[in-house]
Structure 1
Amino acid sequence: MAIDNKIVSKYKSYLLLEKGLSKNSIEAYTNDLAKLLSYLENENLKLQDVKLDHLQQFIAQLYDLGINARSVARILSGIRSFFNYLILDGYIQEDPAELLETPKIGLKLPTVLSLEEIEDIKGCIDLSTKEGHRNRAIIEVLYSCGLRISELINLKFSDMFLNDGFIRVEGKGSKQRLVPISEIAIKEINNYLIDRDHLDIKKGSESTVFLSKRGTPISRIMVFHFIKQYAEQAGIQKNISPHTFRHSFATHLLEGGANIRAIQQMLGHEKITTTEIYTHMDREYLRQEIIEHHPRNINKR
């Protein structure tokens, strides 16, 4: 269900002629509007059918992607302007954006790391230690795949399809999804597996990818600890956690121009019950989004 481009064109004329906005302001409004229209199209919603809860869900997804409050407030301003125009033009009878709450600019949102900060953190890892390659692999998988910490520590060898460039992830509610994995992450995993082969692996832990020095599945507390330790060594003042890499993954993809729907699929925010619903085309589409928009792949081109 495509949104009528004539409506957007008329809205741009309204902003120019009625509101007297500059070319840059109009471009900013329409760029933000494009995010909403993309969401509506993916949800198969017509403009006449949009309700307050649809817009609230859209805003919630922006927060999930790590968009800061100031940017969300700006997008909200554009949304209100657009629906106000639709009311004036008689296209809709009720304004679904009327009761949308503006976020507090001072609202604390998840921390996002720059690519340089991520490299600085990895650079602090001593590869001469037994856990060095493991920790680099963990950080790279968190960032390159956007995993939750629970998804990472439960990752099994049966979930990895490295030759195909994917891993299978079991997220909340036991819902599974396929996530593309970068060549850098694959390399870090392979380096770690050499060290893993020398561990005294405890019975029942053989299938788990990331293990402690004792040969048992690594705990989330251990991952929290070494990430904070490396961040301090790198001189990073931000409050870092494993989830920071997930938000950085989503934010970098969004900033690079990736489709919001594709990012949400990779983060597991959509209702995906089994990996079988992914067709070959779907997998290639997700993979292409990663290749085109994730810094790990952009820097190699």
Structure 2
Amino acid sequence: MASSLLEGVDDFLAYLSLEKGLSENTLQGYQGDLGQFLARLGQTSKPSSWKKVTAADVSDWIYALSEEDYSNASLCRKLSAVRAIDSYLLRERLIEKSFTEIVVGPKLRRKAPFTLSIQEVERLLSAPDDTTPQGLRDRAMLELFYSSGLRVSELSGLMLQQIDLDLGALKVYGKGSKERVCPMGSKAVSAIRAYLSNGRPYLVRSKTGSAVFLSSRGTAISRKTVWFLVKKYTSAAGIDKPVKPHMLRHSFATHLLTGGADLRIIQELLGHADISTTQIYTSVEADRTRSAHDEFHPRSREAGTAL
């Protein structure tokens, strides 16, 4: 049983690691935010245990951070970390009542994700030179990225044993080591077959493992290299838009939604634990619908432009 503030954090982080299977980067994020909260408590109310932490302590901390020009997104993330440990302590009966239940956080308006049009995606996927091993690799990588909506880490860490080309599917281990099965489109399957036959063998070295996408050194391609290549081919395709993380993943989800796919199916394909995360893509479709209305509906046109 945790008796001090630090012990409570250590127990919570152990729970997230061992029972929830969260990544080291995620754990470090929680540790940093909670450490900052404990530092604030040490400067002000100095409670000796989590039982003595109050909603006022949390609210005052968030307000103090807002005065330091933290963004609303950062404030929401930090408050989320404190809410998470609050929930854990309650569940373990280490505290008797919540110290975050009545805390009101900043309103966070999530921006619509950056996406490409279908025509831009087609140009991007056609950009690699498929007469070279690297070009075959890059074409297969981009096709799969867009076809299956993978995260960058899932793409770069993909192993041969996760792919079934005959079924047109792959097994993916996402956040928290959660497993999901993703379908592959026929063009992605064809591109991967071509790469595995005529590209990957030329990139294999003596110590190469079972990673699907290999660097010139024969090692698994890195996330940084994936984004360098996406940026390179975006430019080569004449797409004058900033390259953002998860660009093809966002385009995958948005194009499915535009085509009529159910939001729950998209949630499953993306590996989102919460449907609210997937709902951000509805704002993209809403913006597109609104633009069409403004352009074509006679009562949306400015005076003097009606036919």
Deviation at 1:217, TM superposition (A): 0.4
Q: TM-score, normalised by structure 2?
A: 0.52
Q: Is 1:166 aligned to residue 166 of structure 2?
A: no
Deviation at 1:221, TM superposition (A): 1.0
- For 1:244, the aligned partner's letter is M
Q: Is 1:156 aligned to residue 175 of structure 2?
A: no
Q: What secondary structure sits across from 1:265 in the alignment? A: helix
Q: Percent identity?
A: 46
Task: Tell me, in whole angstroms, the C-alpha distance in 2 between the residues paired with 1:150 and 1:242.
Answer: 11
Tell me what 1:196 maps to.
200
The 1:120–1:165 alpha-carbon spacing in structure 2 relative to 1, beyond 3 Å, is: same
Instruction: State how 1:1-301 maps to structure 2 within 5 Å.
Output: 108-193=111-196, 194-203=198-207, 205-241=208-244, 243-270=246-273
- Cα distance per residue 1:140-169 (max 9 Å; x no partner): 111000000000111111111121121000
Greater RCO (CA < 8 Å, at least 6 residues apart): 1
Task: Tell me, in whole angstroms, the C-alpha distance in 2 between the residues paired with 1:165 and 1:270.
Answer: 24
- Give the gaps of 5 or more residues in structure 2: 1-103, 275-307
The 1:233–1:198 alpha-carbon spacing in structure 2 relative to 1, beyond 3 Å, is: closer
The answer to whether the Cα contact below 8 Å between 1:212 and 1:218 also exists between their aligned partners in 2 is: yes
Task: Tell me, in whole angstroms, the C-alpha distance in 2 between the residues paired with 1:200 and 1:267.
Answer: 30
Q: What secondary structure sits across from 1:168 in the alignment? A: strand
- For 2:199, the aligned partner's letter is D
- Give the gaps of 5 or more residues in structure 1: 1-98, 272-301
Name segments (4+ residues, structure 1) moved above 6 Å.
none
Task: Tell me, in whole angstroms, the C-alpha distance in 1 between the residues paired with 2:199 and 2:126.
Answer: 19
| Aligned-CA RMSD value | 2.2
Deviation at 1:103, TM superposition (A): 7.3
How many residues are paired up? 170
- Cα distance per residue 1:111-165 (max 9 Å; x no partner): 1111110111122222233310100111111100000000011111111112112
Task: Tell me, in whole angstroms, the C-alpha distance in 1 between the residues paired with 2:258 and 2:108.
Answer: 21
The answer to whether the Cα contact below 8 Å between 1:223 and 1:242 also exists between their aligned partners in 2 is: no
Deviation at 1:108, TM superposition (A): 4.1
- For 2:231, the aligned partner's letter is K
The 1:258–1:200 alpha-carbon spacing in structure 2 relative to 1, beyond 3 Å, is: closer
- For 2:136, the aligned partner's letter is H
The answer to whether the Cα contact below 8 Å between 2:147 and 2:184 also exists between their aligned partners in 1 is: yes
- For 1:227, the aligned partner's letter is V
Task: Tell me, in whole angstroms, the C-alpha distance in 1 between the residues paired with 2:225 and 2:249.
Answer: 17
The answer to whether the Cα contact below 8 Å between 2:162 and 2:170 also exists between their aligned partners in 1 is: yes
Deviation at 1:229, TM superposition (A): 1.2
Deviation at 1:202, TM superposition (A): 4.1
The answer to whether the Cα contact below 8 Å between 2:149 and 2:269 also exists between their aligned partners in 1 is: yes
